[in-house]
Structure 1
Amino acid sequence: MAERNPLSQPGRRRWLPRVSLDSETFGRFAESVASFMGTATFLVYMTVFVVLWILFNVVGIFGFRWDAYPFILLNLFFSTQASYSAPLILLAQNRQERRDQVSFDEDRRIAAQSRADMDFLAREIAAIRMSLGELATRDFVRGELRNELRDLAERLEQATDEEEQK
Structure 2
Amino acid sequence: MAAEDRAKAASTGASGIARPPRYRLDQPKAPRRRLVPAYDPEAFGRLSERIARFLGTWRFIVWMTLFIFIWLLWNVFAPTAWRFDPYPFIFLTLMLSLQASYAAPLILLAQNRQADRDRVTYEQDRKQNERSIADTEYLTREIAALRIGLGEVTTRDWIRSELEDLVRGLDDRRAPHPAESDEDR
Structure 1 stretch 16-25 or stretch 61-70: which is displaced more?
A: 61-70
Number of the residue aligned with 1:55: 73
Structure 1 regions of 5+ residues with no counterpart? 4-15
Give the residue type in structure 2 aligned to 1:77. Answer: M
SS of the residue corresponding to residue 91 of structure 1 reads: helix
Give the residue type in structure 2 aligned to 1:35. Answer: R
Give the residue type in structure 2 aligned to 1:108. Answer: R
Residues 139-158 of structure 1 correspond to what in structure 2 (within 5 A)?
Answer: 139-155=157-173, 157-158=175-176
- Deviation string 1:114-137 (CA, Å, 9 cap, x unpaired) is 111111111111111111111123
CA RMSD for the aligned pairs?
Answer: 2.5
- Supply the distance in 2 between the matched residues of 1:53 and 1:149 (Cα, whole angstroms): 109
- Supply the distance in 2 between the matched residues of 1:89 and 1:42 (Cα, whole angstroms): 14
- Deviation string 1:17-55 (CA, Å, 9 cap, x unpaired) is 521110111100000000000000000000100100000
Number of the residue aligned with 1:124: 142
Number of the residue aligned with 1:43: 61
- Supply the distance in 1 between the matched residues of 2:173 and 2:75 (Cα, whole angstroms): 122
Number of the residue aligned with 1:18: 36
Q: CA deviation at 1:153?
A: 4.3
Q: Is the 8 A contact 1:27 1:92 kept in 2?
A: yes
Number of the residue aligned with 1:8: none
Given the alignment, which residue of 102, 110, 116 partners 2:120? 102
Number of the residue aligned with 1:68: 86
The reply to whether residue 81 of structure 1 matches residue 99 of structure 2 is yes
Q: Is the 8 A contact 1:31 1:92 kept in 2?
A: yes
Number of the residue aligned with 1:91: 109
Q: Is the 8 A contact 1:34 1:85 kept in 2?
A: yes
TM-score with structure 1 setting the length: 0.80
Q: Is the 8 A contact 1:55 1:61 kept in 2?
A: no
Q: Is the 8 A contact 1:34 1:88 kept in 2?
A: yes
SS of the residue corresponding to residue 121 of structure 2 reads: helix
- Supply the distance in 2 between the matched residues of 1:124 and 1:81 (Cα, whole angstroms): 64
Structure 2 regions of 5+ residues with no counterpart? 1-18, 22-33
Give the residue type in structure 1 aligned to 2:159. Answer: V
Larger radius of gyration: 2
Structure 1 stretch 50-59 or stretch 123-132: which is displaced more?
A: 123-132
Judged with a 3 Å threshold, the aligned counterparts in structure 2 of structure 1 residues 61 and 38 are, in CA distance, closer, same or farther, namely: farther
TM-score with structure 2 setting the length: 0.72
